[in-house]
């Protein structure tokens, strides 16, 4: 029971963090048709900026300043570089964001070094939130969930209830018409890109000190984010939500189970040598491959994703 | 008009001359300069040429951007090295033909994985290829018996009795000529494939998949077949790589290898067949020479890549193609003095950029915690904390950039526009 609750808590936290990342990516993709390969790099930048700012003025200002800074950076990147690449087609845009991801990682290596930095949870949040059946649930994870859910409600409210949100929704499907009606669509694109990137940075700010803050974090999270987008369906926010939670839970559960493959297969009646390479493998070690297996499965049985729209 | 037709005929002759010269140089160079470094660079370039050409079959010809091509390369390498270990006593298969085994491994993996990955094209394909590559990389740590864990799998390519002319492939120079032979065979085959109906339909699927479907071909099938063939040649390259270094590690299936081949093909030029050949040579040279003298070489590579995407998306091959078409219209020699003139601000700007990047690396990468870090390029001593070097570098970048822009817009671009008009006339 206790194991189930802990994994539920951890899985939910991780899944919500994934969704924060994926929602920004899906928003940018739906609007501009460009898949931002550098999205996870902005996540990393958010964590590093927050680390740096928190060493100067503390965690709480960093929570506000770091995403804004990264968002502005993203808007500038969109305006001066991505727009140029847009002229040359989708492949050029993809390649540009790929090169950008690479460059950002090099800059992080340059400024902060190649090892992990000591980005710590603030003292006010360091400790158990509540204790259930002798397992304590960390307060910081609760804070993470609060920020994720709060941000997402704010995003939902912004998109559906405000005027600018309605214009963004319109520009999502009919950008030329919106431009013909007199709105500055390129400027909207720039702010949407900046906003999506700022979301990723916020995820980095809160996730960076719960998980480790190191230059490899972008690559580690980046591929999972793409798996989430493929599994959920390109361009669908609901699909991304379902897929993020699904992958968050599955990975957390498998990482927590240290059962050998030989035990599993022997229990079902197939005999596997417990000392062989395959038999000794535990589910924990197998966990990293799971999201990709899920992706392969979805591609075979339902290529458009859980909630994707059929391609025209 | 007749002058350009004459030039067209001469173009074919010049093309043969160029190919012949390249071949002659690549045969003669290691024989004249008996340098181990040169030999290892040339061997690496040879392997990368096959790899990059196979990658361009996907990207340039079929429009499939793959971030996981190292899977076919790496698994071909692993297959070859395991086979080499298997036949090390019996020497059933001559080492000369062993890369074929790598190719067959790549082919098999491409048949299995390709079916899933080519269901979608474009952006989705790129993400799926990345996911599959990550999956294989994650598997490489889980199955140490096949992938060799941290240390990889090593072998020895000298097996059995010496062959014709006493060749054992022990000395690197013998193996280099084998690589050269395989490069020729692979390049000719890949060029031939691009001229078959399959190759042509791949181009059609790249440009307009809907129309290709109306003509009667299933775009998914065409992509699948091109992926299978591309996987075969990538596997051949992987096999040669395994035999060349006599070791295969998890890095061979890793993201760096996939990124490297993408860089090579793109920088060389994905629009032409010969583009990746140039790209492979260029990037390998840069990796070895710039990597040897500067800590910032990865940064330079990334910066160059981004600048090429934004300003010269056709790669080096597109620049060469423009010059060729200018030459065919007798416009080229008029531009040469202007190109030389443009070289001056270009070099100044380059110096400025190098200065800024190198000084940043010295300043920020200060491991010894001195208060006065120094940069020492070419015998000069530059104190990085002083403001003067920075002002000079930024000044160089500004002067170089503005000068280049002025020369481009005033002198070069009008001539190129004139030449384009002449082509269309």
Share of chain B above pLDDT 70, in %: 94
CA B144 distance to own-chain centroid = 30
Residue range B130-158, pLDDT digits in tens:
888 888 888 887 888 888 877 888 888 88
pLDDT of res. A99: 92
Q: Kindly indicate whether the ipTM for this predicted assembly is greater than 0.90, answering yes or no.
A: no
**Chain B contact present for A278, CB below 8 A:** yes
Which candidate in B143, B210, B301, B310 is best for mutational testing of the A interface (most A CBs within 10 A)?
B310
Angle at B140 between CA B136 and CA B142, to 5 degrees: 115
Q: Which residues of B touch A311 (CB under 8 A)?
A: 120
Nearest to B249 by CA among B106, B137, B363: B137
3-class secondary-structure state, position B35: coil
Q: Chain A: nearest CA to B58, how far in angstroms?
A: 13
Residue A130 has pLDDT above 80, yes or no: no
**Chain B contact present for A294, CB below 8 A:** no
Q: Chain A: nearest CA to B132, how far in angstroms?
A: 7
Q: Do A277 and B360 touch (CB under 8 A)?
A: no
Q: Do A230 and B130 touch (CB under 8 A)?
A: no
Positions of chain B with pLDDT lower than 50, given as ranges: none
Q: Which residues of A touch B279 (CB under 8 A)?
A: none
3-class secondary-structure state, position B230: helix
Which residues 6+ apart lie within 8 Å of B58 measured at CB? B64, B65, B66, B69, B226, B227, B230
**Chain B contact present for A292, CB below 8 A:** yes
Mean pLDDT, rounded, for A173-191: 87
Residue range A203-246, pLDDT digits in tens:
998 888 878 788 888 888 888 888 898 888 877 788 888 999 99
Which residues 6+ apart lie within 8 Å of A72 measured at CB? A194
Nearest residue in chain A measured CA to CA from B65: A91
pLDDT of res. B92: 81
CA distance B135 to B123: 19
Nearest residue in chain B measured CA to CA from A311: B120
**Residues B61 and B206: beta-carbon distance below 8 Å:** yes
pTM: 0.89
Angle at B119 between CA B257 and CA A101, to 5 degrees: 35
**Chain A contact present for B176, CB below 8 A:** no
Nearest to A149 by CA among A289, A17, A56: A17
Q: List, as ranges, residues 192-251 from B with C-beta within 8 Å of A.
A: none
Structure tokens at A3: 């194991």
Structure tokens at B303: 């910066």
**Chain A contact present for B2, CB below 8 A:** no
**Chain A contact present for B369, CB below 8 A:** no
DSSP assigned state of A308: P
Mean pLDDT, rounded, for A124-143: 74
Which candidate in A31, A81, A110 is best for mutational testing of the B interface (most B CBs within 10 A)?
A110
Share of chain A above pLDDT 70, in %: 94
- Mean model confidence pLDDT for chain A: 83
Structure tokens at A128: 């158990």
Note the helical H segments in chain A: 2-32, 39-57, 59-77, 83-86, 90-112, 139-161, 163-173, 175-180, 185-208, 217-232, 237-256, 261-268, 277-280, 283-286, 290-301
Q: List, as ranges, residues 402-421 from B with C-beta within 8 Å of A.
A: none
Q: Which residues of A touch B149 (CB under 8 A)?
A: none
pLDDT of res. B292: 82
Residue A88 has pLDDT above 60, yes or no: yes
Q: Which residues of A touch B258 (CB under 8 A)?
A: none
Q: How many other C-beta atoms lie within 10 A of the C-beta of residue B320?
A: 16
For residue A309, what pLDDT band results from cuts at 50, 70 and 90?
A: low
CA A43 distance to own-chain centroid = 8
CA distance B81 to B242: 6
For residue A118, what pLDDT band results from cuts at 50, 70 and 90?
A: confident
CB pairs under 8 A between A and B: 106
For residue A312, what pLDDT band results from cuts at 50, 70 and 90?
A: very low
For residue A277, what pLDDT band results from cuts at 50, 70 and 90?
A: low
Q: Which of B120, B142, B298 sits opposite A106 (nearest CB)?
A: B298
Residue range B371-421, pLDDT digits in tens:
677 777 776 777 777 788 888 888 888 888 888 888 888 777 777 777 666
Q: How many other C-beta atoms lie within 10 A of the C-beta of residue B146?
A: 15
Which residues lie across from B154 on neighbouring strands? B247
Among positive and negative, which fits the CA dihedral A169, A172, A178, A184?
positive
Label residue A176 exposed, middle or buried (CB < 10 Å: 0-12, 13-18, 19+): exposed
Which residues 6+ apart lie within 8 Å of A312 measured at CB? none
**Chain A contact present for B356, CB below 8 A:** no
Q: Do B302 and A99 touch (CB under 8 A)?
A: yes
**Higher per-residue pLDDT: B269 or A283:** B269
Q: Which residues of B touch A35 (CB under 8 A)?
A: 123, 126-127
Structure tokens at A141: 């994870």
**Residues A291 and A229: beta-carbon distance below 8 Å:** no
Nearest residue in chain B measured CA to CA from A81: B310
**Chain A contact present for B120, CB below 8 A:** yes
**Chain B contact present for A302, CB below 8 A:** no
**Residues B109 and B72: beta-carbon distance below 8 Å:** yes
pLDDT of res. B58: 94
Q: How many other C-beta atoms lie within 10 A of the C-beta of residue A202?
A: 27
Angle at B102 between CA B98 and CA B107, to 5 degrees: 135
């Amino acid at each position: 029971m206790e194991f189930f609750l802990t994994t539920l808590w951890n899985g939910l936290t991780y899944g919500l963090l994934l969704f924060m990342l994926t929602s920004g990516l899906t928003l940018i993709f739906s609007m501009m048709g460009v898949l931002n390969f550098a999205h996870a790099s902005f996540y990393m930048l958010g964590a590093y900026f927050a680390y740096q700012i928190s060493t100067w003025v503390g965690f709480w200002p960093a929570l506000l300043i770091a995403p804004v800074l990264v968002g502005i950076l993203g808007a500038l990147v969109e305006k001066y570089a991505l727009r140029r690449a847009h002229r040359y087609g989708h492949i050029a845009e993809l390649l540009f964001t790929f090169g950008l991801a690479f460059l950002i990682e090099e800059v992080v290596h340059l400024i902060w070094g190649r090892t992990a930095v000591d980005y710590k949870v603030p003292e006010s949040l360091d400790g158990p939130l509540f204790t259930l059946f002798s397992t304590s649930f960390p307060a910081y994870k609760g804070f993470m969930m609060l920020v994720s859910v709060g941000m997402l409600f704010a995003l939902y409210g912004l998109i559906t209830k405000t005027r600018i949100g309605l214009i963004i929704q319109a520009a999502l499907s009919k950008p030329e018409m919106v431009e013909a009606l007199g709105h500055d669509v390129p400027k909207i694109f720039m702010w949407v890109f900046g906003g999506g990137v700022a979301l990723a940075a916020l995820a980095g700010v809160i996730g960076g000190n719960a998980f480790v803050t190191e230059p490899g974090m972008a690559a580690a999270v980046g591929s999972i984010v793409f798996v989430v987008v493929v599994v959920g369906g390109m361009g669908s926010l609901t699909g991304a939500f379902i897929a993020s939670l699904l992958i968050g839970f599955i990975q957390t559960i498998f990482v927590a189970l240290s059962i050998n493959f030989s035990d599993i297969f022997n229990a079902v009646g197939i005999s596997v040598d417990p000392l062989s390479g395959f038999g000794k493998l535990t589910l924990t070690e197998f966990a990293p491959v799971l999201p990709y297996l899920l992706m392969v499965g979805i591609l075979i049985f339902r290529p458009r994703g859980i909630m994707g729209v059929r391609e025209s | 008009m007749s002058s350009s037709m004459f030039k067209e005929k001469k173009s074919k002759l010049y093309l043969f001359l160029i190919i012949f010269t390249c071949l002659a140089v690549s045969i003669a160079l290691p024989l004249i300069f008996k340098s181990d470094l040169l030999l290892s660079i040339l061997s690496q370039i040879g392997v990368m040429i096959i790899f990059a050409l196979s990658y361009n079959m996907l990207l340039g010809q079929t429009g499939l951007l793959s971030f996981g091509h190292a899977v076919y390369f790496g698994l071909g390498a692993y297959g070859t090295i395991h086979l080499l270990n298997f036949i090390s006593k019996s020497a059933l298969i001559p080492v000369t033909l062993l890369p074929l085994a790598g190719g067959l491994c790549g082919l098999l993996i491409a048949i299995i994985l390709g079916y899933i990955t080519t269901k979608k094209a474009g952006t989705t394909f790129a993400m799926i290829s990345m996911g599959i590559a990550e999956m294989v990389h994650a598997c490489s740590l889980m199955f140490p018996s096949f992938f060799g864990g941290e240390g990889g799998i090593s072998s020895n390519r000298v097996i059995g009795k010496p062959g014709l002319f006493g060749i054992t492939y022990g000395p690197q120079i013998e193996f280099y000529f084998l690589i050269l032979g395989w490069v020729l065979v692979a390049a000719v085959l890949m060029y031939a494939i691009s001229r078959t109906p399959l190759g042509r339909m791949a181009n059609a699927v790249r440009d307009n998949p809907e129309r290709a479907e109306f003509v009667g071909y299933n775009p998914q099938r065409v992509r699948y077949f091109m992926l299978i063939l591309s996987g075969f040649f990538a596997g051949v390259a992987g096999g040669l790589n395994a035999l060349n270094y006599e070791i295969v590690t998890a890095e061979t299936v890793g993201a760096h290898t996939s990124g490297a081949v993408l860089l090579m093909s793109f920088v060389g030029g994905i629009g032409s067949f010969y583009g990746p050949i140039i790209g492979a040579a260029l990037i390998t040279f840069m990796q070895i020479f710039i990597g040897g003298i500067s800590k910032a070489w990865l940064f330079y590579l990334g910066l160059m890549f981004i600048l090429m995407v934004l300003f010269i998306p056709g790669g080096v091959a597109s620049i060469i193609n423009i010059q060729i078409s200018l030459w065919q219209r007798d416009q080229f020699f008029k531009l040469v003095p202007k190109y030389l003139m443009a070289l001056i601000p270009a070099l100044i700007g380059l110096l400025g950029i190098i200065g800024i990047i190198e000084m940043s690396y010295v300043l920020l990468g200060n491991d010894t915690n001195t208060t006065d870090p120094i940069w020492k390029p070419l015998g000069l001593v530059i104190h990085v904390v002083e403001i003067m070097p920075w002002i000079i570098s930024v000044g160089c970048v500004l002067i170089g950039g503005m000068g280049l822009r002025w020369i481009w817009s005033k002198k070069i671009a009008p001539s190129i526009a004139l030449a384009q008009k002449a082509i269309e006339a």
